[in-house]
Amino acid sequence: MIIAIDGPAGAGKSTLARRIAEHFGVAHLDTGSLYRAVALRALALGAAADPAVATPAARALDLSLLEDPRLRDDEVTAAASLVAAIPEVRDALLGFQRGFAHRPGGAVLDGRDIGTVVCPDADAKLFLTATPEARALRRSRELQGGSGGSIYGRVLADMKARDARDSVRQAAPLVAAADAIVIDTSTLDADAAFAAALAAIAGRLAVTKR
């Protein structure tokens, strides 16, 4: 069983994907971490936006980088969306993602293009969305704890810039698959989003079994 979870930054994909994977007892891959790892390597080599640097970094991806604490740094976050717009980088990461998805027992993958490109054959596809304000509030709380007040404005601006770049790029833009179930998490906490997602998946699996 393959479950695809896509959506913009801060919509709650990774938290939800982890819980869904745990619920079904299958593996989980946060595909954004692959683009972050490529960005980290390319930044170390001095040029994240240069295909001549980022493409070899993606082809020789060092999976130990997925554990690197610098992966969530602002600089790496911004660079990840630059390397993610390079078609050769996306191609280089496709095989690993598909291999992960098709492992025996199944998997949950979250990202931007799982339902559209990586796993168009997924058994259930969810597209999580929320207002930019709700997503920025969530992300700034995550980064800062408490209210997230003082960094909210910067997080909102960074997020809008990244969403725009992810949505307009030619290669695998951020878009809901035609057969994805859209869940707006603006007013849902993690438990409510989990309940909505489980109901949506159950509905989809019941239809495909018929």
Residues in touch with ligand CDP (CB under 6 A): 9, 14, 31-32, 35-36, 80-81, 84, 111-113, 162, 166
Work out the widest C-alpha separation in the chain, in whole angstroms: 53
Closer to ligand CDP by Cβ: residue 55 or 203? 55
Q: Between vectors from CA 147 to CA 37 and to CA 67, what angle results, nearest 5°?
A: 20
Residue 163: its H or E element: helix 152-168
Closer to ligand CDP by Cβ: residue 36 or 125? 36
Closer to ligand CDP by Cβ: residue 143 or 208? 143
Minimum separation from the CB atom of position 94 to ligand CDP (A)? 10
For 21, counting Cβ atoms within 10 Å of its Cβ (0-12 exposed, 13-18 middle, 19+ buried), the class is buried
Closer to ligand CDP by Cβ: residue 115 or 196? 115
Minimum separation from the CB atom of position 17 to ligand CDP (A)? 10
Minimum separation from the CB atom of position 30 to ligand CDP (A)? 7
Beta carbons of 92 and 85 less than 8 angstroms apart: no
Minimum separation from the CB atom of position 93 to ligand CDP (A)? 8
Residues contacting 79, CB < 8 A, separation 6+: 39, 40, 42, 43, 48, 49
Closer to ligand CDP by Cβ: residue 72 or 203? 72
Helices marked H in 10-86 — which ranges?
13-24, 32-44, 51-59, 74-83
Residue 180 DSSP class: P
Closer to ligand CDP by Cβ: residue 193 or 203? 193
Minimum separation from the CB atom of position 36 to ligand CDP (A)? 5
Residue 210 CA to residue 205 CA, distance in Å, equals: 9
